[in-house]
Amino acid sequence: MAEHPQYEAFYTENWRSLLGRISQRVDSRAVAEEIAQDAFHAVWQSWKGLKDPKSYLYRVAFNKANDELRKRRTSRAKSHYLRAAQPTERIYLNDALDQIDIRQKTAIFLKYYGDQTHNEVAEQMDIPTGTVKSLIHRGLGDLRTTIN
């Protein structure tokens, strides 16, 4: 780690928080640990060129978590997995999140799980702040509709 002396402190400072947020997203600590390690590795590789390593870390991690969830959906579809068609079945947050637009989902996660401001989310997604607010507003509305 001598090549990037500040990286070790960055890793120590951010590991637990990132792991917790990714664990919530993918519902598996083992998968979350793998995603977190991959994200930290990406930061390590790009360390010298990063202006905001924490934002980059979270963007990489949430993109990898979304990839994992997409892979699960595809796997379920290929194995002809069908949900129980019972009217009392509850739709949980992860299932509901799978139903909304990927941009809405990304904005919501960066804002609430990434604990970022609208401006920070806008910067990460490379879109105007007003668009972020709109994506979050519509996404939360879609979630409410899906869960109810």
**Total Cβ atoms within 10 A of residue 58:** 25
**Which pLDDT belongs to residue 88?**
44
* Residue 60 to residue 42: CA distance in whole angstroms: 8
**pLDDT digits over 13-58, tens only?**
999 999 998 988 888 888 999 999 999 999 999 988 889 999 999 9
Mean pLDDT of all residues in 76-87: 48
Q: Which domains does the chain have, with CATH numbers?
A: 1-82 (1.10.1740), 85-148 (1.10.10.10)
Q: What is the pLDDT of residues 103-119, one digit of tens each?
A: 898 898 888 888 889 99
pLDDT of residue 87: 46
User: What is the reported pTM?
Assistant: 0.53
